[in-house]
Structure 1
Amino acid sequence: MKTIFHQADSRGFANHGWLKSHHTFSFANYYNPERIHFGTLRVLNDDQVSGGMGFGAHPHDNMEIISIPLEGDLEHKDSMGNHGIIRHGEIQVMSAGTGVVHSEFNANKEKDVKFLQIWLFPRERNVTPRYDQKKIDGDQNNQFLQILSPNQNTEGVWIHQDAWFSLTTMDQDFETTYDVKKNGNGVYFFILEGSAEIVGQEMERRDGLGVWETDKITVKSTSDSTKILVMDVPMEM
């Protein structure tokens, strides 16, 4: 088993006034040669956007892009004709493929929106661009609720990669085992709220831990209502 620990305050940070963004991996003006990606997980940004502000129209290609609002509402518009609001309790995915242009704005004028923006390298290049969003619906209390997978017609959204995302909310001192979904995958744990101990590593809010070369991972909550995002991704691109 191998691990890599990223403490919350070690992340890159950008403050543009209207945007405050923490970067777990190298992004924009933050560059750390030891933190380019974790397997196919390329970007994990923890963003806070002021009321009415946002990212104007900009292009992407050959990337699987996932947004998860943590507070507030995010307005999305793209060149495929999609236009809507992604709310807390939902997940959005966009397969950029051959190329897409989109914008993201805080849908509210009076309060900030906080969300995770996550990029994964795709399994195949130049696919037809696509968009989807779904409500995160199911029991995540002391269990792993799947919110993303490579499979259509299963729980959550799907992407062009052998990756599985899950959410869990754990009671204090609850302990369980996470089973890695596919041989050769690694798992990146990101603490949204609370604290946990994962394979012996103590973790606090917004800490991240990558674990690979194993098929089972022990997870123990060390606070009440510990919330964890689990990203199970291929280590080879």
Structure 2
Amino acid sequence: MFEIIRANERGRAHFGWLKSQHTFSFGDYYNPKQMGFSALRVINDDQVAPGAGFSTHGHRNMEIISYVLEGEIAHKDSAGNEEILPAGEFQLMSAGKGIYHSEYNASKTAALKFLQIWIEPNVQNGEPGYQQKDFGNAPGLTWVITPDGRDGTLQIKQEAALAQLLLSEHDKLELPVTAGKAYYLHLISGELMLDEQQLYPGDGVKLAAIASLKAHATKGAVKALWFELPA
């Protein structure tokens, strides 16, 4: 499988304080062909107005990842966590048996841009958890979330992993693929040739049953997220 979801094919929502683009069905956007991929259920590309945000609401049995692209998130939850999440950092909240939280734009003047990602867990009704970390800007693939929390990564309740991919213009990299796994790539910025397919910011690719995969940054510095998922 090599299925591209183009940026302009995503669902859209506009609530004044929030502009969002949905890769998969979410809220009022329903596309029966895009209900998620493997355990990956949501990728929302959100822009939040200054001082606005998501008021306190609840989740259960979902692994919720936030990756800040611009600005800062002010996070608060019912487990007692109250944190600021700046640009470049990853947040992983395990909802478990139930958690309430709010996410606000910490600035009164600047917009907040972040990716909201949901992954379905393989453990139900566990204890809620919160993790947050900056993994730097090393070129190539840097693993940020793994099932076992190896090498200082955030630990997720699923046989899934997430890496950040950073390439300078014209850099090439062979991406790691293993039989029996599915993969998803979401391009944040720059232009990327994945095998013979050209990708642009906001594009995503579902991948399965592939033997090899080459990435080539064709224009600008590339930033992307690379998901390893259960088949």
Residue 31 (structure 1) shift: 0.2
> Deviations for 1:134-167, whole angstroms, at most 9, x for unmatched residues?
112351x2x1011111112423311101111111
Equivalent runs, 1:86-105 vs 2, <5 Å:
86-105=85-104
- Separation in 2, partners of 1:157, 1:3: 28
- Separation in 1, partners of 2:185, 2:149: 24
Q: Paired residue for 1:152, among 125, 149, 156?
A: 149
Which residue in the other structure is 1:8 paired with? 7
> Deviations for 1:25-51, whole angstroms, at most 9, x for unmatched residues?
000000000000011100000000000
- Separation in 2, partners of 1:38, 1:217: 19
Which residue in the other structure is 1:162 paired with? 159
Residue 215 (structure 1) shift: 4.5
Which residue in the other structure is 1:47 paired with? 46
What is the identity, as a one-letter code, of the residue corresponding to 2:136? D
- Separation in 1, partners of 2:209, 2:126: 30
Contact kept, 8 Å, 1:179 with 1:215, in 2: the verdict is no
Unaligned runs of 5+ in 2: none
More divergent stretch after superposition (106-115 vs 215-224): 215-224
Which residue in the other structure is 1:189 paired with? 185
Q: Paired residue for 2:224, among 218, 222, 228?
A: 228
Equivalent runs, 1:1-237 vs 2, <5 Å:
2-137=1-136, 139=138, 141=139, 143-180=140-177, 183-235=179-231
**Moved runs in structure 1, 4+ residues, more than 4 A?**
none
Residue 184 (structure 1) shift: 2.3
- Separation in 2, partners of 1:138, 1:150: 22
More divergent stretch after superposition (27-36 vs 214-223): 214-223
Change (3 A) 1:65 1:215: farther
Matched residue of 2:220: which SS?
Answer: coil
Matched residue of 2:127: which SS?
Answer: coil
Contact kept, 8 Å, 2:43 with 2:116, in 1: the verdict is yes
What is the identity, as a one-letter code, of the residue corresponding to 1:233? L
Matched residue of 2:76: which SS?
Answer: strand
- Separation in 2, partners of 1:197, 1:138: 21
Residue 98 (structure 1) shift: 0.5
What is the identity, as a one-letter code, of the residue corresponding to 1:208? G
More divergent stretch after superposition (55-64 vs 145-154): 145-154
What is the identity, as a one-letter code, of the residue corresponding to 2:170? D
Identity %: 39
- Separation in 2, partners of 1:54, 1:213: 40
What is the identity, as a one-letter code, of the residue corresponding to 1:156? T
Residue 232 (structure 1) shift: 1.2
- Separation in 2, partners of 1:216, 1:127: 36
Contact kept, 8 Å, 2:61 with 2:120, in 1: the verdict is yes
Scaled by the length of structure 1, what TM-score is found?
0.94
Change (3 A) 1:103 1:41: same
Matched residue of 1:154: which SS?
Answer: helix
* Cα RMSD after superposing both structures: 1.2
What is the identity, as a one-letter code, of the residue corresponding to 1:214? I
Contact kept, 8 Å, 1:146 with 1:155, in 2: the verdict is no
Residue 199 (structure 1) shift: 2.5
Contact kept, 8 Å, 2:137 with 2:166, in 1: the verdict is no
Contact kept, 8 Å, 1:92 with 1:132, in 2: the verdict is yes
